[in-house]
């Protein structure tokens, strides 16, 4: 069904959406989408940093006792 839309169909859909919602509503909606994407990326980054910090704190020191004092 969606395989036959093509470029003219997409342009027609964009024009209809623009007429129905108006330029201001679409721009505010896109701003909210951008904020959501930014928040999602920040959450992923914070989660990865938290996992890395947890791994670093639970890591064992496997250096032999005689080698710890050497520089």
Within 10 A of 26 (CB to CB), how many other CB atoms are there? 14
**Exposure on the CB side of residue 45, measured as CA atoms within 13 A:** 6
Domain ranges within the chain, ordered by starting residue = 22-53
Q: What is the pTM of this model?
A: 0.54
Give pLDDT, residue 16: 92
Report angle CA 58, 63, 64 to the nearest 5 degrees: 135
pLDDT (mean) for 1-5: 70
Q: How far is CA 61 from CA 24, 41, 58, 67, in A?
A: 58, 33, 10, 11
pLDDT of 1 over the 60 cut: no
């Amino acid at each position: 069904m969606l395989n036959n839309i093509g470029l003219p169909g997409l342009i027609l859909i964009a024009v209809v959406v623009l007429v129905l919602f108006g330029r201001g509503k679409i721009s505010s909606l896109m701003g909210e989408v951008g904020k959501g994407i930014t928040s999602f990326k920040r959450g992923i980054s914070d989660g990865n940093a938290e996992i890395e910090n947890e791994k670093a704190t639970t890591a064992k020191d496997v250096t032999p006792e005689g080698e710890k004092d050497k520089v």
